[in-house]
Structure 1
Amino acid sequence: MTKILLVEDDSAIIENLSAVLKAEGFWVQAEAGQKEALEALQKESFDLLLLDVSLQNGNGFTVCSAVKAESDTPVIFLTASGDEFSVVTGLDLGAEDYIRKPFRPRELISRIRSVLRRCGKTGAIVELGDLRVDTVRALVTKGGADCCLSALEYRLLLFFLNHRGMVLTRGQLLEEIWDAAGEFVNDNTLTVYIKRLREKIETDPQNPTIIRTVRGLGYKLE
C-alpha cells in the first residue's frame, strides 16, 4: 500500500485530507511541524510526501531539501503560497509538483497518482489469495480477471483494506457509503452492496473467506 507523509499545520486540513487519501487506498501519516516530519522520515520510509510550505517550527522547503538529499522520494507541495518565488523554490529543490490551496480532492488524487507513476512508485499492490488490488490504478483482479467493481463497491473494499483485521460495524460502513454516494443509504442497501462485493471477490460467496461476518457486531476483512 502506498505510504504518504502529510506535513501540514492546519488540523482541519489534516483531518479532511487524511480521510480522502485513506478512502482512496493510501496509508497516511500526518505531522504538523518540520521537526516532527524529519523525525518521521528517520523512522519510516514513504512513497510520497505532501508538504505545506509554512509549518510549525520551520518550513516545507527544509523538509524537501532533507528528503531529496537522501532519496528519490517524490514531493508535492500543497500550499496557499502561490507566489512565483515559492513555486520556483519548491521546484528547484526537486519537488515533482506544486498544488495551490484551495484544491479539488479529485484533482489532487489524480496528480498524486500521476507523480507516483512518473516516479515508478506504483507498487501499491495488496494481495489476498488470488485477489489483487492495485490502489494506484484502482484495479481489482481475481485470478487475473478484472472484478469490474462499481465505484461504491471499490470504495467499500478500500475501507475494509484500510481497517484490515478490525471489526467494522454496519453503522461505520453505512457512514462510509453514504459519504461516497452523497445521498442517504439505508441498511438494506448496505446488505445489497456487501452481497454484490462478495459475489465479485469471493471464491464461494456463500462461505466468504475475505470479508467475514462477525455475528452481532459487523464484518471483518481477515
Structure 2
Amino acid sequence: MTTIYYVEDDRDIAENVKTYLQIRQMEVHLFYSIADAKQALLRKCPDLLLLDRNMPDGNGDELCKWIRRLWGNQLPILYLTVRGETADIVQGFQDGADDYVVKPFELEVLYSRILALLRRSGQTKETRLFCDHLSLDTDKMSVFWEQEEILLSQPEYQLLLLLMKNKGKTVTRRQLLEQVWDSNGNYVNDNTLTVTMKRLREKLHNPTCLKTIRSFGYRLEESI
C-alpha cells in the first residue's frame, strides 16, 4: 500500500484528501505542523509527500530543502500552493519539489498527479481502476467497495472492468454483450445483460456512480 505524508494546516482540506485517497487504497498520515512532519520523516521515508507551502510554524520551501538533505531525491514531493503564487512555485522547484497543484483543486486531479509522480519514481504501476468508492485491481482481479472486498462472478467482473476502463463514456448494451459474452463464444440474449447488471449493482451496494443510459447502455462516472 502506498504511504503518503500530508503536511497541511487546513484540517478540513486535509481530512477530505485523506478520505479520498484512503478509498483508493492509499495510507495517509496527516501533519498539521512542519515540526511534526520532521519528526515523522526522521523515523521513516514515505512513498510521497504532499506539502502545503504556508504552514503556521514555517515555510514549505525550507522543509523541501531539509528533506533533500535528509533523503536526497528518494522522496517525491508534490507542492500545494494558492493561485497567483508563481514566484513561490518557482522557488519550490528550486528547493526540490517535483510537481505542484494549485488550490482549490479537484481531488481527481490531485490523485492523477500523485500517480504520475509515483510512476516517475518507479514506485507504482497502474493496476487499479477507481470510481467513487469502487476500486478494481486488474492484477489480482479483485473488487472493493471502500475497504470491503466484493466477490463477483466472471461475467459481473468483466462487465465492471469494461465500464471501469471506459469511465466517463457510455458503453452500449451491444458493446457489452459482444465484449463480455460473445468474445468468449457465449452467445446470450439481451435479458442476460439486464439480469447480470442487476446482480452487479446489488453486490456493489447500488453505487450512484453507475448510471443507466436509457435505451443505450451504461456509464460509470465520478459523483463525489
The 5 Å alignment of 1:24-173 reads 24-71=24-71, 72-80=74-82, 82-122=84-124, 139-142=137-140, 147=141, 153-154=143-144, 156=145, 158-160=146-148
| Greater Rg by CA | 2
- SS of the equivalent of 1:141 reads coil
Q: 1:31 to 1:135 in 2, by over 3 A?
A: farther
Could you state the TM-score of these two structures normalised by the residue count of structure 1? 0.60
- Tell me how many residue pairs correspond in the alignment: 152
Gaps of 5+ in 1: 125-132, 162-187, 196-222
Q: 1:110 to 1:21 in 2, by over 3 A?
A: same
Q: Aligned partner of 1:41: which letter?
A: L
* Native 8 Å contact 2:62 2:95 kept in 1: no
Unaligned runs of 5+ in 2: 150-197, 206-224
Q: CA RMSD in A?
A: 3.1
Contact 1:5–1:46 (8 Å) recurs in 2: yes
Task: Tell me: CA distance 1:58–1:32, structure 2 relative to 1, closer, same or farther (3 Å).
Answer: same
Report the Cα distance in structure 1 between the residues aligned to 2:27 and 2:57, rounded to whole angstroms.
25
Does structure 2 retain, via aligned residues, the 8 Å contact 1:35–1:57? yes
Task: Provide the residue aligned with 2:174 in structure 1.
Answer: none
d(CA) in 2 for partners of 1:122, 1:115: 9
Q: Secondary structure at the match of 1:15?
A: helix
- Distance, in Å, in 1 between the alignment partners of 2:125 and 2:92 is 26
1:42, distance to aligned residue in structure 2 (A): 1.0
Distance 2:34 2:83 in 1: 17
Give the 3 Å change call, closer, same or farther, for CA 40–141 of structure 1 in structure 2: same
Determine whether 1:23 maps to 2:33: no
Distance 1:134 1:76 in 2: 21
- Deviation digits for residues 135-165 of structure 1 (CA, Å, limit 9, x no counterpart): 89963334xxxx2x6xxx44x1x5248xxxx
In structure 2, the CA distance between the partners of 1:54 and 1:138, relative to structure 1 (3 Å rule), is: farther
Identity %: 32
Distance change in 2, residues 1:90/1:138 (3 Å) = farther
What's the CA shift for 1:62? 1.7
CA contact (8 A) 1:51 1:75 kept: yes
- Give the TM-score normalised by the residue count of structure 2: 0.60
Please state whether the residue corresponding to 1:94 is helix, strand or coil. coil
- For CA contacts below 8 A with separation 6 or more, give which structure has more relative contact order: 1
Residues 80-117 of structure 1, C-alpha deviation per residue, up to 9 Å, x if partnerless? Answer: 16422101001111211011100011111011000100
